[in-house]
Amino acid sequence: MDSSQPKKLSLGTLLSYGVGAVGEGIGYNVFFSFFSFFLTTQAGIKPAVAGVISALAVLWDAITDPIIGNWSDRTRNPRGRRRPFIMSGAILFGVSISLLFVNVNLPGGLKIAYYIVVNMFYWLALTICVIPHISLGSELSEDFDERTRLRSFAVALMGIGTLIAVGTPLLLVEAFTNITGSSNAGWAMSGVIYGVLTMVVYEVSCWLLRGKEPANPNLQEKLPGNAAAVTSDGSDAAEKGLFFRNARKAFRNKSLRQLIWITFFVNVTVTLASGLAVYLLTFTYGFNEGETSIVYALQGVLVIACAGVVGVVAKKLGKRPVMIAGLAIYAVSYVLIILLPISWGTIIVHVILFAIGNAGYWTMVYAMSYDTAIVEQLRSGERPDGLYTSLIGLFMKFGNAAGSLVVGVGLQIVGFVESSEVQSAAAVAGIRWLYGLSPTLFLVPAVLFAVIYPLTRERFRELTRANELREQGEPFDPAVLKGL
């Protein structure tokens, strides 16, 4: 590819890819925003136990992330490396969401076991679907700025999914509860709707992207630069060893390492904020279902609007400055919850700053991870896009697990009582401090890692030119890899 004249992605391709991100927005946010709330207020599970349930399942998923990523990198499916995974995973993803919000009539221990198993199923299905979809983005364009543009569209459309997932559930549950006379049925029917929506948008995205995914390079007799290529039937006795070798090589990539740590700390924050927001709005601010839904709707609309702005700014300034500024603004949004009075004005300011920071991170993180793969491509000729995406996902899940524990244990410590519709003054104040302070503490190191991230636009272009020389069999200056 001529890096001086990059091929622009068509609007149709950008939208087709972005449609899949709607499913990620729904499936991811309906879980983090309401699953803990459902467990504690509907299923009657203590907050600390609910946190452990989520943490155990997320840690299980952390194991599967790099396996799925590496598998999709190396599959020999003639239909492509990514779309077959997405299409199968979407069905499992939809079913798993439907099962999450069923209040099963089982004794305490068996009920907890049910939610652990279903939660594990949810995360496995999410991984099979989401990791290949994100990885597909790196194959649709190899240009530094086009990848940012692609992720801007994805984050904007993900915002639509987020808007659906956080802005409508309480209203939908209330409506179904009124129709059926059962809150259990209200939650269960709502879960089915979100599961079906998630499945449908991913399948539509795959249908729209037919013919746009590059041909599977693994169908060649031998993978370029990879002495341990799979055999013609897809089996390889050295596959497990190869995976760990590739993972070790990936951690030598300094740029990827910085992104991994940013991802860990930000996703502790994401889980904390998503899990605690409904408690904050319900118990600290005293909002009803309609008012809470308005806050979530405003948040979703602003994230969508900010995603486009973030992409434009990143094209002018670069990805690293946008990431640094976004994370700093993200942190400020939580500090204000503590410093400003409990009022609609505080929530509106918080949501505006939250949207800027949230859009900045989610637009940049995968666009930056796509870029880091050029380092390994130059070193060995391999294209580990799926592995790199899954390693980002791996540490995202470690952050999710830590955040889930903090939510559950934190609510228990501040005195939240799962069986009470009215909480004590101490619990109400504690929820406010837990929501405002704990995310800030985790965002500070994320900002510091963003500051030392080394792969700028200029360095990426140097690496791209060197890789073109390598592919043509010509020598290149190895100094371009210094510090990377």
Which amino acid does the sequence have at 288?
A: N
pLDDT above 70 (res 90):
yes
Lowest pLDDT segment from 202-206, 390-394, 409-413: 390-394
Mean pLDDT of 15-19: 88
Residues 259 and 455 sit within 8 Å (Cβ to Cβ): no
More confident residue, 342 or 242: 342
SS3 at position 342: coil
Lowest pLDDT segment from 1-10, 84-93, 262-271: 1-10
Q: How confident is the model at residue 364 (pLDDT cuts 50, 70, 90)?
A: confident
Helix pair 144-167, 457-471: axis angle to 10 deg: 120
pLDDT above 80 (res 6):
no
> What's the pLDDT score for residue 285?
92
Q: How confident is the model at residue 234 (pLDDT cuts 50, 70, 90)?
A: very low
CA 433-342-165 angle, 5° bins: 75
Helix pair 425-451, 385-414: axis angle to 10 deg: 150
Q: How confident is the model at residue 227 (pLDDT cuts 50, 70, 90)?
A: very low
Lowest pLDDT segment from 56-60, 128-132, 277-281, 356-360: 56-60
Helix pair 289-317, 344-380: axis angle to 10 deg: 40
pLDDT above 50 (res 356):
yes
Q: How confident is the model at residue 386 (pLDDT cuts 50, 70, 90)?
A: low
> What's the pLDDT score for residue 52?
80
SS3 at position 483: coil
Mean pLDDT of 155-183: 86
> What's the pLDDT score for residue 11?
86
Q: Which domains does the chain have, with CATH numbers?
A: 15-214+244-481 (1.20.1250.20)
Residues above pLDDT 90, as percent of the chain: 24
More confident residue, 160 or 388: 160
| CB neighbourhood size of 79 (10 A) | 12
More confident residue, 365 or 381: 365
pLDDT above 50 (res 232):
no
CA 403-61-251 angle, 5° bins: 85
> What's the pLDDT score for residue 351?
93
Lowest pLDDT segment from 96-100, 233-237, 418-422: 233-237
Q: Kindly tell me the burial class for residue 294, based on how many C-beta atoms sit within 10 Å of its own C-beta (0-12, 13-18, 19 or more).
A: middle
pLDDT above 90 (res 196):
yes
Mean pLDDT of 24-43: 85
Tell me what the pLDDT averaged over the chain comes to: 82
Mean pLDDT of 257-272: 90
**CA pair distance 105, 100, nearest whole angstrom:** 14
User: Going by C-beta distance under 8 Å and a sequence separation of 6 or more, which residues neighbour residue 385?
Assistant: 73, 135, 138, 139, 370, 373
CA 396 to chain centre: 7
More confident residue, 327 or 404: 327
pLDDT above 60 (res 237):
no
pLDDT above 80 (res 256):
yes
User: Going by C-beta distance under 8 Å and a sequence separation of 6 or more, which residues neighbour residue 303?
Assistant: 155, 159, 162, 163, 355, 358, 359
> What's the pLDDT score for residue 77?
72
More confident residue, 99 or 230: 99
pLDDT above 80 (res 236):
no
What are 315-322's contacts with CB under 8 Å, separation 24+? 315/145, 315/148, 315/149, 318/456, 318/457, 319/148, 319/364, 319/367, 319/368, 319/371, 319/457, 320/368, 320/450, 320/453, 320/455, 320/456, 322/360, 322/363, 322/364
**CA pair distance 122, 58, nearest whole angstrom:** 9
Q: How confident is the model at residue 185 (pLDDT cuts 50, 70, 90)?
A: very high
> What's the pLDDT score for residue 246?
67
> What's the pLDDT score for residue 242?
56
Q: Is the pTM of this model over 0.75?
A: no
Which amino acid does the sequence have at 47?
A: P
> What's the pLDDT score for residue 198?
92
pLDDT above 70 (res 417):
yes
| CB neighbourhood size of 211 (10 A) | 6
> What's the pLDDT score for residue 69?
67
Q: Which residue reads 């500090």 in tokens?
A: 335
Helix pair 319-339, 289-317: axis angle to 10 deg: 150
